[in-house]
Amino acid sequence: MLKYCALISLCALVGSGAEFVTGQGARLVIGQRTFTAQEAGTAQNLLGGAGALTYANGKLYIADANRLNLTPINNRVLVMDTATFPKPTDELAPYSSRCPVCVGQASLVLGQTNFTDNGFGTAADKFRFPTGIHSDGVRLAVSDTLNNRVLIWKSLPTTTGHPADVVVGQSRMDQNKSPVVTDAKSLRAPQGVWMQNGKLFVADAQNHRVLIWNSIPTTNEQPADIVLGQGNMTAFEELDPIKKNITIAADSLLTPTSVSSDGVRLFVTDQIGRAHV
């Protein structure tokens, strides 16, 4: 298992109408005490091998785990208030600290009861390898990959350890069914998750498909309405591109890991080495 200490760098546009330029340096760093540090651990201002994030209503939500299995896996989501970050045009006070642009102290954590624990579990307030996260500004969804489920909060959490309200992929919060039976209600190692126009999109990676709910689920194990990448909801073939030729087509997917939308089009990453639109 590889060891990796994550940080998040934030670039800022300075001035009206300013643009990013190639090679532009970041203004702020989150998750490490300096831009060059690679400290491992679990703390309020320290990230492990973080893999996904989303922003909503002034808050940054960071899934502190990753699909590459780079350690430490902290099995949590950190929530940070971006109002505490320096603004793009703020003058940074010299010598105010060792690194005045190393910011980002979490205000609360999900999946753990404190900022130093990183154990995993199967419950409404636990994760096992959360690798995808998204908010539509009202709700929060987290793909809890090794629990074969997506957890949904009907409103943005405001307290540490706040339990999820709804689970899809399982019938109960304390359940992780094995073996996984492929159908409209199941997930197998989901990763990317997205909410747009009242719909939920999930990259169901090891089922080689994307599932779509036409309305955000409000009950546990609510079945998906649409499947992409497979001919029907029960189709499943374990694909190994090393051992066999894989049929590559406009309607096929191989381990999709990310999904997004601009409200009109849907974008999906595909391990065949392409992105679908």
Beta bridge pairs of residue 151: 142, 167
The whole-angstrom distance between residue 208's C-alpha and the CA centroid of its chain comes to 18
Cα–Cα distance measured from residue 38 to residue 15, given in angstroms and rounded to the nearest whole number? 32
Cα–Cα distance measured from residue 28 to residue 99, given in angstroms and rounded to the nearest whole number? 10
pLDDT at 11: 60
Residue 9 has pLDDT above 80, yes or no: no
Residue 7 has pLDDT above 80, yes or no: no
Residue 115 has pLDDT above 50, yes or no: yes
Q: Using one digit for the tens of pLDDT, what is the confidence trace for 199-254?
A: 999 999 999 999 999 999 999 999 999 999 999 999 987 766 666 667 788 998 99
pLDDT at 276: 61
Residue 186 has pLDDT above 90, yes or no: yes
pLDDT at 82: 93
Instruction: Provide the token pair at 171.
Output: 């019938």
pLDDT at 62: 97
Q: Residue type for 44, please?
A: Q
SS3 4: coil
The mean pLDDT of 26-34, rounded to a whole number, is: 88
Residue 42 has pLDDT above 70, yes or no: yes
Predicted confidence band of residue 16 (pLDDT cuts 50, 70, 90): very low
Predicted confidence band of residue 86 (pLDDT cuts 50, 70, 90): confident
Q: Using one digit for the tens of pLDDT, what is the confidence trace for 166-181?
A: 999 999 999 999 999 9
Predicted confidence band of residue 96 (pLDDT cuts 50, 70, 90): low
pLDDT at 2: 47
Instruction: For residue 108, give the nearest of 153, 161, 187 by alpha carbon.
Output: 161
Among 9-23, 110-124, 150-164, 224-238, the minimum mean pLDDT is found in 9-23
pLDDT at 78: 98
Instruction: For residue 257, give the nearest of 246, 247, 249, 267 by alpha carbon.
Output: 267
Q: Look over the chain and give the mean of its residue pLDDT values, rounded to a whole number.
A: 89
pLDDT at 277: 61
Query: pTM (2 decimals)?
Result: 0.90
